[in-house]
Amino acid sequence: MDPRPSALSRFQGGVARVRESLATPWLQEILRPLEGAYKQVMWLALAINFIALFASLFSLQVYDRVIQKGGLVTLVALIIGMVFALALDQILREGRGVLLRRIGVRIEVVIAKLVYQRLTRLPALALEARPPAFWQTMFRDIELIRATTAGGIALLLVDIPFMFVTLILLAFIAWPLVPVMLVILVAFFILSLRSEATLSGGSEQEKRKLMARDAVLADMSASRMHLKYMGPTAAERTQWQSHYGNWLEESLERSAENDKYRDYGQGLSALTTVIVTSVGALAILNQSMSMGALIAANILVGKLVSPLTQLVSQWRSIGQFVSSVKRIDQLFEQSLDRIDTPIAFSAPKGALQMEGLHFKYPGSEADQLSGISGHIGPKGIYAILGNNGSGKSTLLKVLRGLYPPSEGRVLVDGVDMAQLGQKTLSYWVGYLPQQPRLIGGTIKQNIAMGASDPSDEQILQAAKLAGAYDFIIDLPDGFDTDVGEGGSRFSGGQRKRIAIAQTLINDAPILLLDEPTSDLDSMAERSMVESLKSMSEHKTIVVVTHSPAVLNAAKGIVVMDKGRVVTAGSAKDILPKLGISPQGSAGSTQQGTNHG
């Protein structure tokens, strides 16, 4: 016994998957308010399909009454009637198109809004777990869902039920052809079974390969200048050809399958015309049909076969729709960050307390942070340094609340950070990543992105504290200057200062800065250090750095290695151990650090 499922069972499974996709709760919630609009589409489709039958009746009357009996008056009446019918048909089709476009826009806008909200509320670990191409594909999925629920496939599914009306009219006009059409309909159904089994099943795999291709393309596009700097190399060319060639070969295979069934459908459609005309001719010879009935029957048969021909080649798109709904459904099922804090706390003074912090990435057995305890602040500059991979940046993300500790907790002025929503944390804790990236738009828009509706005064103050004000006002367009792709219009140091201004816009009492001076020249670095000193008089500033200038400005220093704190203390005690001579540092003039 063949263990493989039959074509019929695979077809039933495909139909069931479509139904399950349409019954997905979030999609149902979006489609439910549009039920009235869809009913209007159905009524319009009913009218359009009804008018479409007039063409066959027109041909029947012309051949059987006008030609045979010379009824010119009848011909004029029929032509006038058809002109009005076609005009009405055009109006109805345009109305249906406008209605479907409005439905599509509503669906896409609502889904896009929901997806964007979910993306901005996903935990940092979930966002980092997927490449950018995956998240880009989400928005392609939205477009595909819109095209399916309010596009050509939706029209196809709306028109299919009216096939029975056409079949009934065919029975009245040319009943000898009904058995032939039933056999042809069965043939189309079998072809559709085969098409669904072949085209629909591989949609998810095809999408994964498409995402892999997009990831390579995005990576190479982002690295285009780096590739230019290296010059044309055989290794780079081979890698590109390998990735693209593999995807192209697989894509062509899928397209070949789709084209094959499309051609089968069109071939069966042409064969239908031959069979119907031949059987109709025999019926005319047997005087069981008229010539007009055969002409009208051919028009009706074309109307019957047309949606079936489309259906045969649309299973690939239907399968992609099912996969798209499934992917977005998985996104909606993921847990989200807490956004709002259930109770309003007063703004903190800036005391950070760490109690037995451990952190490991999901699926990893090794600790990235292990047993870190101590307290920082309030107020002052505190430096963290260590070798690459020692856990410095990870610690900052835990202190910001981006990574939840595997064990232990972080407290801000005695409040467990786990109780705080991301909105509160964004105002309490400013965070500068090691490699900040500017977003397309103006300088003003990028700086303001860190706050909700900041004033111009706040933007100017943040730019001045970040050392960005002077070079910005020298630009022809000033704060209205477009930053370019990822900030490509500016040097690394200028991008860094704009990003620092974005971090400072909320005037948060706690600042976590990951290598803030790494791209700055010596003069800009000294200016930044002075700004940090000034802000540290009323803020707690934690800086990951290897800069002697920043280390000399620090009140306390923490040295990390392999996720552990190796040593910590006041700057005046730690700097000599690092081989750095204190130069009037904050640690040598202020009281000792309160690091544990």
pLDDT tens digit sequence for 223-266: 565 555 555 555 555 656 666 666 666 666 666 666 777 788 88
Whether 368 and 302 map to the same domain: the answer is: no
Domain co-membership, 191 together with 240: yes
Q: What is the mean pLDDT of the chain?
A: 81
Residue 370 lies in a domain: yes
pLDDT of residue 592: 35
User: Same domain for 328 and 403?
Assistant: no
In this structure, the answer to whether residues 294 and 401 fall within a common structural domain is no
Residue 343 within any structural domain of the chain: no
Asked whether residue 347 is domain-assigned, the answer is no
The model's pTM = 0.74
**Could you tell me if 316 and 196 lie in one domain?**
yes
498, 447 Cβ separation under 8 angstroms:
yes
* Cis peptide upstream of residue 378 (ω within 30 degrees of 0): yes
Same domain, 326 and 442: no
Range of the structural domain that residue 557 is part of: 352-589
In a domain, 344, yes or no: no
Q: Are residues 548 and 467 in the same domain?
A: yes
Residue ending a domain, choose from 333, 360, 378: 333
Q: Do 154 and 108 reside in the same domain of the chain?
A: yes
Regions of the chain where pLDDT drops below 70: 1-18, 69, 196-258, 582-596
Residues 151 and 208 in one domain: yes
Is residue 5 in some structural domain?
no
Give the model's pLDDT for residue 318: 77
Q: Each residue of 445-479: pLDDT tens digit? A: 889 887 878 889 999 999 999 888 989 999 999 99
**Alpha carbon distances (Å) from 175 to 50, 216, 233, 270, 300:** 20, 59, 72, 21, 12
For residue 480, the model assigns a pLDDT of 92
Residue 7 belongs to a domain: no
For residues 420 and 517, membership in a common domain is answered with yes
Q: Which of 333, 366, 400 is the last residue of a domain?
A: 333
| Distance (Å, whole) CA 311 – CA 243 | 33
The answer to whether residues 455 and 551 belong to one domain is yes
CB count in 10 Å sphere of residue 295: 20
pLDDT of residue 160: 81
Number of domains in the chain: 2
Q: Is residue 341 in a domain?
A: no
234-285 vs 291-333: helix axis angle to the nearest 10? Answer: 150
Could you please report the per-residue DSSP string of 179-244?
HHHHHHHHHHHHHHHHHIIIIITTHHHHHHHHHHHHHHHHHHHHTHHHHHHH---HHHHHHHHHHH
Measured CA to CA, the distance from residue 464 to residue 505 in angstroms comes to 11
**Is 465 part of any domain?**
yes
Look at residues 333, 367, 402 and tell me which one is the last residue of a structural domain. Answer: 333
pLDDT at res. 576: 85
| Per-residue pLDDT at 386 | 87
Neighbours of 341 (CB within 10 A): 16
CATH classification at residue 26: 1.20.1560.10
- Of 210, 72, 189, whose CA–CA distance to 137 is shortest? 210
Q: What CATH number is attached to the domain comprising 537?
A: 3.40.50.300
Shared domain for 267 and 402, answered yes or no, is: no
The DSSP string of 272-339 is: HHHHHHHHHHHHHHTTSS-HHHHHHHHHHHHHHHHHHHHHHHHHHHHHHHHHHHHHHHHHHHS-----
Question: For the packed helices 291-333 and 203-222, what is the interaxial angle rounded to 10 degrees?
Answer: 60
Identity of the amino acid at 568: A
